[in-house]
C-alpha cells in the first residue's frame, strides 16, 4: 500500500507494516532488525518472507514482502495480536461506563479501572462463542473483543446475552498501524473507545427502565380515565343542576333592587330578560340585571376596570348572586352542557347576552374594549342621583379633580390659582360662582362633565376639551393638540412604511417566482414590459400596486412561462425532424444532391430543411425526397 493510500486509510503517511514475526513467534520492530532478508521475519498474516527496508533506503522504514505481492493484512493482524499481548502481564484495564441499578434506581455507573488476570487467548467453548481475550476482573470472567476493522455483530451479542457472559469491545480502528507497543498498550488498556457488548447489570437496568415506563404509562392512563370520568360527572351534574334551577324559578316572589330609580330613568322595561343561562343566578333575571344597571353602570362599582362580562360576573359572585353549581364553569364543560340542554349558558355568557341585548336597545354604547351607559340614560340618572344625595359625593370628586388638574399644570401657567380661588370664580354661563353652580341641578352636570373631559384629556386617553371650566388650561389644550397631531403623524408614517414594505414584499415574491421559472433574458422581458391588459403597467408595477395585482401578475407569468415552454418544445421538435430529414437525404442522395435537396425551394413546401417541424411536414418532405431519389439516383 503506497503512502497516499495509507494516509487515506489510516490518517498517516507513515509505514504500515513495521512488525514482523520471528521464527520463535515473537514480533520484531523494524528498528530492531538487520536490513534486507537478514531480518529473518515473516508476515504475521500470510507467513510470507519479509525484507526489511530501513530508513536510509526509504523515507520511512518498513517491512515489505519479498518476491510476492503484499497480502495487505499484515498491519491489521499485527495490531490485533499486539493488542492481545497487552494483557499477558495482568495489567489494569479501564472498563466503560454503563447503565446499572443503585438502590433500585437506574443510574449511569462511571468508567472504572480494574485489575485483570489473564486467562487465555482465543477462548472458545461449545456455545460457539469465540472472544479475542478471556480475562478475570472484579471477581468474574470477562470476554474482551479487540475490533480493528470488524466489530461484533448482533448475532454474537445475542449469544453473549443468552449465555450471560459479560463482554467489552475495544475499538482500535483509528489507531495507526505503525504504532509502537507502548502506544498500543495505552490505547487497549485506557484511551481507545470501548463499549459493553453485554453486562447483566445493563440488562437489569434496562428491564427496570421498561418496567418503570410501563408503570408510568399505566398510571397516566388511570389518571386520564379518572380525569375524564370527573369531567363527565361535572358536565352531568351541571346539566342536572341547571334543570333543577329552571324548575325552582316557578312562582318565586322577588323585589327589584332600586326599582324606583330604574322607573324614573326609563330603564325598568330593560330588566327581567330571560337570556340563555339566566338560571345560573340565585335570583330572577330582574334582580341581577337591575344590579348590573344600577351598581355597575351607574355606581361604577368596577372602578376603572372595563365593563365587560367577566368583571361583571366577578362582582355578581361577590354579591352571592351566582349559584355554587355554576361557579367557575370552564368553556369545555359549558359547551358540553349546552349540547345536553340548549337553554344553558355559563354565568359570564348570560351576562354577555344581556349586555348585547342592552347594546341593541341603545341602553349601552361601546367605549374602548368595554361598554358604558348611553348618555340618554346616564345623564338624567346622574342628575337624579345628584339631587337625591345633594350631589355631595360628585361635588367633592369634582373639586378633587380640579386640584389634580391644577397640580398637572406648570407653575407659571397655574399663576397661583388654587381650588378655593376657582370655587369663588365666576361660572360664565350662569353668572354664579363655581361653588354655587356645582350645587345647581342645572349647572352642576355641565361643570362635572367639563371637568371629567379635561381630566381625560390630561391623562392622554380622551378627546380635546374646548371648554376650560374657568381653569388656566389653554396651553395644556395646545400641548395635547400638538401631541395628538404628532401621534397621528406617527401612525401615518407607520402606515406609509407598512405600505412600502408590502409593495417591496409583493415585488420580491413576483421576482422570486419569475427567477424560478425564467432565464435572465425572458425574465427581464416579462417583468419590465408594459402590457395593455395591465393598464399599461409592467407586471412588477402591477404586483407592487396590490395583492390582487400580484395575483394577476402571477397568472400572466404562468401564461408567459407556458408560452415559452411550448415554443421551446416546438423548436426542439423542429430540430429533431430537421436532423431526421438531413440524415435521410444524406443516406439516400449524394452529398451534393442531399445539400441541394435540403435547400431547394419546392413549390408547395419551400426548402425541406426549413419546412419540417412535425410528423405531418416530415412525411411530406420524405415524399419529395423519394421523388429526388428516383430522379437523381442513390449515391451508392
pLDDT tens per residue, range 543-601: 888 889 899 989 988 998 898 889 889 999 999 999 998 999 888 888 888 898 888 88
| β-bridge partners, 62 | 53
Task: Give the residue carrying C-alpha cell 408503570.
Answer: 215
Of 493, 531, 407, residue with least CA distance to 543: 531
Taking residues 597-611, report their average pLDDT.
83
User: pLDDT band for position 124 (50/70/90)?
Assistant: low
User: pLDDT band for position 2 (50/70/90)?
Assistant: very low
* Rg of the chain over all Cα atoms, to the nearest angstrom: 49
HSE-CB for 282 with a 13 A CA cutoff: 12
- In 119-177, where does DSSP find H-type helix? 154-162
For residue 167, is pLDDT > 80? yes
What pLDDT shows up at residue 15?
58
User: pLDDT band for position 622 (50/70/90)?
Assistant: very high
- CA 605 from chain centre, in angstroms, equals 65
Task: Give the residue carrying C-alpha cell 352542557.
Answer: 337
Of 241, 235, 223, residue with least CA distance to 329: 235
What pLDDT shows up at residue 181?
84
Of 178, 184, 16, 192, residue with least CA distance to 84: 184
Under DSSP, the state recorded for 605 is T
What pLDDT shows up at residue 501?
92
What pLDDT shows up at residue 127?
56
For residue 287, is pLDDT > 90? yes
Of 355, 397, 390, 353, residue with least CA distance to 372: 355
Q: Quick count: other Cβ atoms within 10 Å of Cβ 597?
A: 26
Assigned C-alpha cell, 190: 485506557
Could you read off the pLDDT of 229-283 as tens digits, one per residue? 888 988 899 999 999 888 887 666 788 999 989 999 999 999 999 899 999 999 9
Assigned C-alpha cell, 135: 480475562
Under DSSP, the state recorded for 308 is -
Question: Among 131-135, 190-194, 606-610, whose mean pLDDT is lowest?
Answer: 131-135
What pLDDT shows up at residue 217?
92
Taking residues 526-551, report their average pLDDT.
89
Render 179-246 in DSSP notation, one character per residue: --HHHHHHIIIIIS-EEEEE-HHHHHHHHHHHHHHHHHHHHHHHHHHHHHHHHHHHHHHHHHHHHHHH
Could you read off the pLDDT of 403-450 as tens digits, one per residue? 898 888 888 888 788 888 888 888 888 888 888 888 777 888 888 888
* Average pLDDT taken over every residue of the chain: 85
Helices (H) then strands (E): counts for the chain: 23, 15
The answer to whether the beta carbons of residues 39 and 29 sit under 8 Å apart is no
| β-bridge partners, 95 | 112
User: pLDDT band for position 384 (50/70/90)?
Assistant: confident
Could you read off the pLDDT of 10-65 as tens digits, one per residue? 334 455 788 898 898 888 888 888 888 889 899 988 888 899 888 766 667 888 88
In the chain, the percentage of residues whose pLDDT exceeds 90 is 25
Of 276, 274, 291, residue with least CA distance to 326: 276
Distance, in Å, from the CA atom of 289 to the CA atom of 321, rounded to the nearest integer, reads 11
Distance, in Å, from the CA atom of 545 to the CA atom of 565, rounded to the nearest integer, reads 28
What pLDDT shows up at residue 11?
36
Q: Mind spelling out the 3-state secondary structure of 475-531?
A: HHHHHHHHHHHHHHHHHHHHHHHHHHHHHHHHHHHHHHHHHHHCCHHHHHHHHCCCE
Under DSSP, the state recorded for 167 is E
Q: Quick count: other Cβ atoms within 10 Å of Cβ 20?
A: 25
Cα→Cα distances 514→485, 521, 522, 569, Å: 43, 11, 9, 20
Helix (H, G, I), strand (E, B) or coil at 137: strand
What pLDDT shows up at residue 116?
85
What pLDDT shows up at residue 4?
45
Task: Return the higher-pLDDT residue of 139 and 169.
Answer: 169
Do strands 167-171 and 140-147 pair parallel, antiparallel, or not at all (unpaired)? parallel
What pLDDT shows up at residue 286?
92
Intra-chain end-to-end CA distance of the chain, in Å = 59
Helix (H) or strand (E) run with residue 448 in it? helix 443-459
Task: Return the higher-pLDDT residue of 433 and 605.
Answer: 433
Could you read off the pLDDT of 473-491 as tens digits, one per residue? 888 888 888 888 888 889 8
Q: Quick count: other Cβ atoms within 10 Å of Cβ 403?
A: 13
Distance, in Å, from the CA atom of 354 to the CA atom of 296, rounded to the nearest integer, reads 13
In the chain, the percentage of residues whose pLDDT exceeds 70 is 94
Question: Burial of 312 by CB count in 10 Å (0-12 exposed, 13-18 middle, 19+ buried)?
Answer: buried
Provide, for the chain, the percentages of residues in helix, strand and coil under a 3-state DSSP scheme, each rounded to the nearest 5.
55, 10, 30
Taking residues 341-346, report their average pLDDT.
90
Taking residues 192-196, report their average pLDDT.
92
The answer to whether the beta carbons of residues 401 and 422 sit under 8 Å apart is no
Amino acid at each position: 500500500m503506497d503512502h497516499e493510500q495509507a494516509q487515506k486509510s489510516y490518517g498517516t503517511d507513515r509505514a504500515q507494516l513495521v512488525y514482523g514475526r520471528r521464527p520463535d513467534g515473537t514480533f520484531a520492530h523494524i528498528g530492531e532488525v538487520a536490513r534486507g532478508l537478514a531480518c529473518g521475519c515473516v508476515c504475521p498474516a500470510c507467513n510470507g518472507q519479509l525484507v526489511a527496508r530501513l530508513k536510509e533506503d526509504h523515507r520511512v522504514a518498513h517491512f515489505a514482502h519479498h518476491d510476492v505481492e503484499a497480502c495487505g493484512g499484515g498491519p491489521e493482524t499485527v495490531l490485533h495480536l499486539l493488542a492481545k499481548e497487552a494483557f499477558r502481564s495482568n495489567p489494569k484495564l479501564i472498563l466503560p461506563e454503563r447503565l446499572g441499578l443503585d438502590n433500585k434506581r437506574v443510574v449511569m455507573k462511571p468508567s472504572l479501572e480494574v485489575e485483570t488476570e489473564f486467562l487465555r487467548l482465543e477462548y472458545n467453548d461449545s456455545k460457539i462463542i469465540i472472544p479475542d481475550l478471556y480475562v478475570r476482573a472484579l471477581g468474574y470472567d470477562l470476554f474482551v473483543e479487540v475490533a480493528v476493522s470488524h466489530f461484533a455483530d448482533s448475532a454474537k451479542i445475542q449469544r453473549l446475552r443468552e449465555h450471560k457472559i459479560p463482554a467489552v469491545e475495544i475499538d482500535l480502528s483509528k489507531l495507526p498501524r505503525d504504532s509502537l507497543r507502548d502506544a498500543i498498550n495505552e490505547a487497549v488498556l485506557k484511551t481507545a473507545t470501548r463499549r459493553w457488548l453485554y453486562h447483566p447489570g445493563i440488562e437489569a437496568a434496562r428491564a427496570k427502565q421498561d418496567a418503570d415506563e410501563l408503570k408510568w404509562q399505566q398510571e397516566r392512563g388511570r389518571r386520564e380515565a379518572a380525569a375524564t370520568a370527573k369531567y363527565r360527572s361535572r358536565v352531568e351534574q351541571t346539566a342536572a343542576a341547571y334543570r333543577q334551577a329552571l324548575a325552582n324559578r316557578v312562582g318565586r316572589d322577588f323585589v327589584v333592587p332600586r326599582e324606583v330609580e330604574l322607573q324614573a330613568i326609563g330603564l325598568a322595561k330593560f330588566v327581567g330578560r330571560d337570556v340563555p343561562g339566566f338560571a345560573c343566578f340565585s335570583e330572577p333575571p330582574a334582580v341581577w340585571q337591575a344590579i348590573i344597571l344600577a351598581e355597575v353602570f351607574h355606581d361604577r362599582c368596577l372602578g376603572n376596570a372595563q365593563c365587560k362580562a367577566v368583571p361583571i360576573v366577578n362582582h355578581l359572585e361577590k354579591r352571592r348572586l351566582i349559584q355554587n353549581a355554576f361557579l367557575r364553569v370552564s368553556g369545555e364543560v359549558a359547551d358540553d352542557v349546552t349540547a345536553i340542554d340548549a337553554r344553558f349558558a355559563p354565568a359570564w355568557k348570560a351576562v354577555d347576552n344581556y349586555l348585547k341585548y342592552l347594546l341593541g336597545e341603545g341602553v349601552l354604547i361601546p367605549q374602548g374594549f368595554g361598554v358604558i351607559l348611553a348618555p340618554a340614560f346616564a345623564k338624567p340618572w346622574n342628575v337624579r342621583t345628584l339631587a337625591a344625595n345633594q350631589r355631595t359625593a360628585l361635588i367633592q370628586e369634582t373639586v378633587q379633580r380640579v386640584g389634580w388638574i391644577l397640580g398637572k399644570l406648570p407653575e407659571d401657567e397655574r399663576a397661583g390659582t388654587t381650588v378655593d380661588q376657582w370655587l369663588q370664580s365666576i361660572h360664565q354661563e350662569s353668572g354664579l360662582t363655581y361653588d354655587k353652580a356645582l350645587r345647581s341641578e342645572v349647572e352642576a352636570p355641565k361643570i362635572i362633565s367639563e371637568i371629567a373631559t379635561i381630566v381625560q384629556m390630561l391623562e392622554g386617553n380622551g378627546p380635546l376639551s374646548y371648554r376650560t371650566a374657568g381653569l388656566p388650561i389653554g396651553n395644556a389644550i395646545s400641548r395635547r393638540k400638538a401631541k395628538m397631531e404628532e401621534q397621528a403623524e406617527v401612525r401615518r408614517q407607520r402606515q406609509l412604511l407598512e405600505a412600502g414594505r408590502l409593495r417591496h414584499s409583493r415585488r420580491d415574491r413576483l421576482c422570486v417566482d419569475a427567477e424560478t421559472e425564467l432565464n435572465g433574458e425572458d425574465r427581464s422581458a416579462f417583468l419590465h414590459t408594459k402590457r395593455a391588459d395591465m393598464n399599461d403597467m409592467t407586471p412588477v408595477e402591477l404586483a407592487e400596486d396590490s395583492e390582487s395585482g400580484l395575483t394577476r401578475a402571477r397568472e400572466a407569468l404562468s401564461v408567459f412561462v407556458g408560452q415559452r415552454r411550448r415554443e421551446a418544445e416546438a423548436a426542439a421538435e423542429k430540430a429533431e425532424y430537421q436532423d431526421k430529414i438531413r440524415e435521410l437525404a444524406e443516406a439516400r442522395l449524394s452529398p451534393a444532391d442531399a445539400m441541394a435537396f435540403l435547400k431547394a425551394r419546392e413549390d408547395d413546401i419551400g426548402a425541406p430543411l426549413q419546412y419540417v417541424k412535425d410528423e405531418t411536414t416530415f412525411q411530406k418532405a420524405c415524399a419529395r425526397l423519394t421523388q429526388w431519389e428516383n430522379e437523381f439516383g442513390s449515391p451508392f
